[in-house]
Structure 1
Amino acid sequence: MLLDLWERYRRYVLFAGAILFVGSSVWLYQADRGNGRSELPLETPAFAKAPLPNTKNAGKEEAAIPAEAPITKNTEPPAAPLYVDVKGQVKQPGMYRFDAGMRVADAITKAGGTLPEADLEQINLAQPLSDGSAIVVPTKGTIATTVPGQQAISTLASGVSPGSSSNQGGMESSINVNTASAEELTTLPGIGQARARAILQYRADKGGFRTVDELKEIEGIGDKMFERIKDRIRIR
């Protein structure tokens, strides 16, 4: 009878046993896993919290940080202003304030420019200004002279040159155009370096001046210019 029952219900018994085996195995695995987790520390170790260094971008980050530039202080004091009295043949004479390094031409411009009668041939427009000086723009037909407190802006010489003679008053008199040097010729009103060289060239080509009127043959010396210098020149 038992054998018959076994033969009839054998498959069911084996199937139930297999299910029971699998279920118990799963339960034991889960129990062992739970016990293993309870033994682990509850807090993460400090070394695990620290971020790992990024060795790939370390050099780039250091290079991106600019080095502090050295701080330099400019201890040089600013240049003092210049005060110059501009007068003579200018439109707006008066005392003006200038920056260091400015020139005579800047002073004349600041004074409104020159009047029609101004003689700029006697003035060195490129000369630097000096504090406390006076600039007097001369009139055509007069000789620019330097007085105390006036800036020397003229090309005129204050002394007597070897090629000139003196009158009883000690003032500059006539210049021998047949023996004078280029430097001496530039002491004449309106005669600059270019005209002085032209006079020397004419003198060399013609063998000297026979009359003072021959100066009119030189380019740049017309009747007006000749009238200004005729009383100061001679041929012997």
Structure 2
Amino acid sequence: MKKTILILTIITLLLGGTIFVIYKNNQNSKEEVIDIFKEDKKEEKEESKDNIPTTKVTVDIKGMINNPGVYEVDSNSRVNDVITLAGGLKEGADTSNINLAKIVSDEMTIIIYSTEEVLEKFKQEVCICNCPYIENNACINNNDNNSNLININTATIEELTTLTGIGDVKAEAIIKYRNEVGKFKTKEELLNVDGIGESLFEKIKDDITV
């Protein structure tokens, strides 16, 4: 009788041990599958970040720059990156009026003035602008709500061409109109200028003043 009980006890222990080993193996296998799945997800996420396409924008840089012209750059580029791409500044260039850290945008115009031009234009006052280019006394009149707007009655060709959609031809047409007809009394009068339509006016109306 005792021998039978001993045999049954041994068999029970063996069965229990076998079941425990099988259970542990299943748990380890499950954890390994989960870990591999997580790793695959992590790799997919990192790969998707690397594959995000970079948008290109077109920027026009002119003035005291070694290689002025139109450049296509990444949308996250900054003004300083464009200056470097264009061969750097000429001797005598003055960037005190430029926010070199500003991120560029499509159709942006960057004008680099010489020290003499800055001193003459702003009467030797220190110029600190948030804009990437000089805009019609914007740096002198920082307290004026219209300080960052282009005054179409006094703006030069270079200043007018900083407006979206305004090239040299349209800028000359604006200056010709105000010389022949007189100063603009309202912004809407700009629609009387050859080449300025409703669509273009809508794009620039918030950037101009009279």
Which TM bucket (shorter chain)?
0.3 to 0.5
TM-score (norm 1): 0.37
Structure possessing the higher relative contact order (Cα contacts under 8 Å, 6 or more residues apart): 2
Which entry has the higher C-alpha Rg, 1 or 2? 1
TM-score (norm 2): 0.40
